[in-house]
């Protein structure tokens, strides 16, 4: 049996993923700064902030897999990105190392490569092209993950998550959509797969219009089942289509809000 710790457990993804995996892990620690409305089987709360390295290290004692979801999950002023996504992510990896956690599942984002044109296929080996300060912070997290794996042997699965929604909401998401069902399976495999080592996996459904080569999905045994094409009829040729994969995040005037 596996024990896990979530950061960001009360957020949009944490809420759906925890419900989808309820009862599957022996012990589930929720390291949160705000209230969690519904607690599922085996879940316990530790209140704290990402900046409190000692508290986080204590909370991670006895934990096998740390699931790092907490972040400013949109474009934002640099000071906010710095505090949550840069300093906070450093503290999370360092606490995991100190506490002897075996694996970190890191919620990265496709905004790490959002400046690639929609006409180009992209895989994990291609150079990063972040589309925002937010995207830069995810590149930082992936680099930190690589360091902690290479230097201290931490197992890491970095998930370049597309758009996690119940259904695709615009033309861009016909390519980038991650269904709730596939997202739950993605996290299940990220936690439970044996012998992972280091992997960078696109968190995306089996979309006919997908842009990303996902070789490392096989490393964790992730096989998506949903396809955004089933919703394509909702959109018309008049609907705005993206030029680059990150969509509005790449716009120089974008300050957050589309998410």
Residues found near ligand NAD in the complex (CB under 6 A)? 8, 10-14, 33-34, 49-50, 69-73, 83-84, 88, 107, 109, 161, 163-164
User: Closest separation between CB of residue 18 and ligand NAD, Å?
Assistant: 11
Cβ–Cβ under 8 Å, residues 3 and 26: yes
202 is catalytic: no
Cβ–Cβ under 8 Å, residues 69 and 193: no
Q: Which is catalytic among the residues 6, 106, 116, 134?
A: 134
If the CB atoms of residues 25 and 164 are measured against ligand NAD, the closer one turns out to be 164
User: Closest separation between CB of residue 1 and ligand NAD, Å?
Assistant: 25
If the CB atoms of residues 16 and 101 are measured against ligand NAD, the closer one turns out to be 16
User: Closest separation between CB of residue 16 and ligand NAD, Å?
Assistant: 8
User: Closest separation between CB of residue 250 and ligand NAD, Å?
Assistant: 15
If the CB atoms of residues 88 and 224 are measured against ligand NAD, the closer one turns out to be 88
d(CA 148, CA 153): 7
Cβ–Cβ under 8 Å, residues 236 and 220: no
Burial class (CB in 10 A: 0-12, 13-18, 19+), 79: exposed
If the CB atoms of residues 41 and 79 are measured against ligand NAD, the closer one turns out to be 79
User: Closest separation between CB of residue 60 and ligand NAD, Å?
Assistant: 14
Q: In the bound complex, which residue of the shown chain has the CB atom lying closest to ligand NAD?
A: 11
Cβ–Cβ under 8 Å, residues 115 and 126: no
If the CB atoms of residues 110 and 149 are measured against ligand NAD, the closer one turns out to be 110
**Which residues are identified as catalytic?**
134
């Amino acid at each position: 049996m596996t024990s896990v710790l979530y950061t960001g457990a009360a957020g949009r993804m944490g809420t759906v993923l925890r419900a989808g995996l309820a009862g599957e892990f022996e012990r589930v620690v929720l390291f949160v700064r705000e209230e969690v409305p519904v607690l599922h089987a085996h879940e316990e709360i530790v209140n704290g902030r990402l900046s409190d390295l000692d508290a986080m290290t204590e909370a991670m004692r006895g934990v096998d897999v740390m699931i790092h979801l907490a972040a400013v999950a949109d474009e934002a002023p640099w000071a906010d990105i710095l505090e949550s996504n840069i300093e906070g992510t450093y503290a999370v990896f360092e606490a995991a190392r100190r506490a002897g956690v075996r694996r970190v599942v890191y919620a990265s984002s496709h905004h790490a490569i959002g400046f690639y044109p929609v006409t180009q296929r992209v895989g994990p080996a291609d150079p990063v092209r972040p589309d925002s300060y937010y995207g830069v912070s995810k590149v930082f997290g992936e680099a930190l993950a690589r360091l902690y794996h290479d230097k201290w042997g931490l197992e890491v699965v970095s998930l370049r998550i597309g758009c996690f929604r119940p259904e695709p909401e615009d033309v861009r998401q016909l390519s980038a959509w991650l269904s709730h069902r596939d997202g739950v399976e993605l996290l299940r495999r990220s936690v439970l797969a044996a012998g992972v080592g280091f992997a960078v996996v696109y968190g995306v459904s089996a979309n006919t219009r997908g842009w990303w080569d996902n070789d490392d999905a096989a490393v964790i045994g992730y096989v998506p089942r949903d396809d955004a094409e089933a919703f394509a009829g909702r959109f018309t040729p008049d609907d705005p289509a993206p030029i680059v994969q990150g969509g509005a995040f790449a716009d120089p005037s974008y300050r957050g809000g589309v998410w």
